[in-house]
Structure 1
């Protein structure tokens, strides 16, 4: 039988595979996070009619004579190029700008995806469209990130408990060139033992070259001998370089007055009693140099707050915003990177899994050798319709050409059969 006929058959089969791949690409032109594929060919084995011969003193060398036996599929590659990001404005739509894949889990099996259209299930767990749980590093109350990844849940009914103010940090500068008797005040909000937010004012009064006294009510002018003038609850001293002396850096158990006014429904104060509270002060970041007075009083503690909203930052941090103004971080999304992303195995549902040739997943957070996360965006498919239709035309013409090889070979065989007539 003619070898050309079987070469044509191999070409038809391979070009049919190419058309199948093109068809799948076109079908997923609007699939978020989809990565297109391509087919490459190589020639099949060659039949050697005669081998090459070396040159001699009397005769030159000759090349080998080989007849090709058609083509075969060399590779079907997945092209992991970055595609454009489409803005959606939805907080749980995430795109990766750069290298990396979101990590999702079902049971004990990890999968990887570029499609970041995520959702919250009935338990508040972050999942993808198929219910696979998105993996993240958890963040504890001290802001420390866990070493292992796990599920992350957002409780939309969460309530942040009130924390009583116990410490006040004072930072900034007190002007060294201010005249004696200068008063500088800072108002602050503190939380009492009942979880209520109260108002307090701290007054700084200069009393000497390197000394400032602190009051919880407006101080009298220097030299005032009035018996009712307020007394300072503490004082701070500075050295010649404007640095606070070591003994004054931290002071514990300072008693100050705070307003405990209660308000009725008409916002009219009905009781403006004063309560005394014991607080620790940290002056380690306070200086006294020439220039402006910029002292800032920052108390800890917070009143009760209910979860109002949450968002995801460029590093994958899941930030929760409470009604009391506090923002806490629940976790940080995990992003995986591979030595050979083209070696990943497609498993459907916009997900990939490791293969023996992809390399082990290197999982960390976004931005550390990986792409950054764009919240409110989704990565589009990287299929280019103009390119796919062009490849479709090439495949179609190649298919027609290989078909012509088969029909021509058939005509030759027909002539051979007719020789017996």
Structure 2
């Protein structure tokens, strides 16, 4: 009879564990990247009595209740929802973000609700620093060691001088001789000061144009196909309206004395597009019967700029870019992801963190989209994978089991009372 009590009590304990597990899942239904847990049980048997044998010669055994065998974490992918924060990130597929505390203890998380602290470090809601690969001069080199991701708040990138420019334009072949057309493009000197480079095309005849250049109204020299510099060159177009001369290049040489101490030695105007195989493609200047107009301009210089914000790349690699006031973007860092041979072996640390154990094995660390690791989605958060309908079903089952075991105890108690009355 005492075994009957212990059997029922073990059932109460197991049902209570099940209620706790289900209750914890329901409580975290809205926790970012929470992974639900499930519980499994094992039966318990009393030692066999060697004197009690059934008719077939088998040992008679009596069950001694139930025990909690294991709890398992469900690492199924949660839904990914957009976030208004540029510092938030989600993992689609396999992997964990890597974080560490001030003492250097590493942990792993799927929750990407990161923020920037006052020092510019990317941290979790609990203050752990997020680890990744820091960029040097806007590039992330292979083999870069893991380090806390830090956004250089207040950073100013230096200006870049214009050395190359592209200008796509059409010169009206039907315009009369003497027609003048201006094609301006903005360029930057060594101090980041903007200047207006103006190319002037004067029609001399069919397919023939004299070209001069000025920088902020000051005359600049030109050199076609590497020839001697002069104040003027002639553009020639063939009968199909395509550029015939210059055949390769046009260099523009500004007057250095007009730049107030800055420098802008030579600007190479790209006259032709480049084919995918690297060969010279069609010309950027045409001579068709249509309005003279500039279709587009481009150049590689820019002014100095300060950091205005950050964004996470859309190519799923988890690269963090800085957005600067001069319109430039520059790679700052890249998230590192960790994967495990057995993620079921990870232990819960609280605060959406997991810890490495001998059962999980050591983490394999690398960028997203490598080594079987998933992709990083910027400005997004992974939601909890708790299924409320399933949890309520489990809740009812655990509640019924608890009630049934408590009824067993009531019945045993009544039986004992009846036995005492017989005595």
TM-score bin (small chain): 0.7 to 0.9
Q: Given that residues 95 and 373 in structure 1 are in contact (C-alpha distance below 8 angstroms), is that contact kept between their aligned partners in structure 2?
A: yes
Q: Given that residues 166 and 270 in structure 2 are in contact (C-alpha distance below 8 angstroms), is that contact kept between their aligned partners in structure 1?
A: yes
SS at match of 2:359: coil
Q: TM-score, normalised by structure 1?
A: 0.74
SS at match of 1:309: strand
The Cα offsets for residues 383-405 of structure 1, whole Å up to 9 and x where unpaired, read as 23332222122111111212233
Is 1:255 paired with 2:250? no
SS at match of 2:119: coil
Q: Given that residues 162 and 305 in structure 1 are in contact (C-alpha distance below 8 angstroms), is that contact kept between their aligned partners in structure 2?
A: yes
1:88 matched residue in structure 2:
83
Distance verdict in 2 for CA 1:172–1:99, change over 3 Å? farther
1:34 matched residue in structure 2:
34
Question: Shift of residue 3 of structure 1?
Answer: 3.4
For structure 1, the residue ranges without an aligned partner over 5 or more in a row are 54-59, 220-228, 237-241, 263-274
1:317 matched residue in structure 2:
319
Question: Shift of residue 206 of structure 1?
Answer: 12
In structure 2, C-alpha distance between the alignment counterparts of 1:81 and 1:68, rounded to whole Å:
36
1:407 matched residue in structure 2:
410
Q: Given that residues 198 and 260 in structure 1 are in contact (C-alpha distance below 8 angstroms), is that contact kept between their aligned partners in structure 2?
A: no
SS at match of 1:122: coil
Q: Given that residues 198 and 258 in structure 1 are in contact (C-alpha distance below 8 angstroms), is that contact kept between their aligned partners in structure 2?
A: no
SS at match of 1:23: helix
Matches within 5 A, 1:6-405: 6-45=6-45, 47-48=47-48, 65-106=60-101, 107-141=103-137, 143-147=139-143, 148-165=145-162, 167-168=163-164, 187-202=184-199, 216=213, 230-232=231-233, 255-256=253-254, 277-279=265-267, 286=274, 287=280, 289=282, 293=286, 298-314=298-314, 315=316, 316-368=318-370, 369-405=372-408
SS at match of 2:334: strand
Question: Shift of residue 373 of structure 1?
Answer: 3.0
Distance verdict in 2 for CA 1:125–1:354, change over 3 Å? same
Aligned residues: 383
SS at match of 1:70: strand
For structure 2, the residue ranges without an aligned partner over 5 or more in a row are 221-229, 237-241, 275-279, 287-293
Q: Given that residues 200 and 259 in structure 1 are in contact (C-alpha distance below 8 angstroms), is that contact kept between their aligned partners in structure 2?
A: no
Q: Given that residues 49 and 67 in structure 1 are in contact (C-alpha distance below 8 angstroms), is that contact kept between their aligned partners in structure 2?
A: no
Q: Given that residues 50 and 66 in structure 1 are in contact (C-alpha distance below 8 angstroms), is that contact kept between their aligned partners in structure 2?
A: no
The Cα offsets for residues 23-55 of structure 1, whole Å up to 9 and x where unpaired, read as 22222222222111111112223644679x9xx
Q: Given that residues 307 and 323 in structure 2 are in contact (C-alpha distance below 8 angstroms), is that contact kept between their aligned partners in structure 1?
A: yes
1:239 matched residue in structure 2:
none
Question: Shift of residue 197 of structure 1?
Answer: 1.0
Question: Shift of residue 416 of structure 1?
Answer: 4.6
Distance verdict in 2 for CA 1:104–1:214, change over 3 Å? farther
Q: Given that residues 140 and 333 in structure 2 are in contact (C-alpha distance below 8 angstroms), is that contact kept between their aligned partners in structure 1?
A: no
The Cα offsets for residues 344-382 of structure 1, whole Å up to 9 and x where unpaired, read as 111111111111112222222233433333333322222
In structure 1, C-alpha distance between the alignment counterparts of 2:142 and 2:24, rounded to whole Å:
40
In structure 1, C-alpha distance between the alignment counterparts of 2:131 and 2:142, rounded to whole Å:
12
In structure 2, C-alpha distance between the alignment counterparts of 1:313 and 1:350, rounded to whole Å:
24
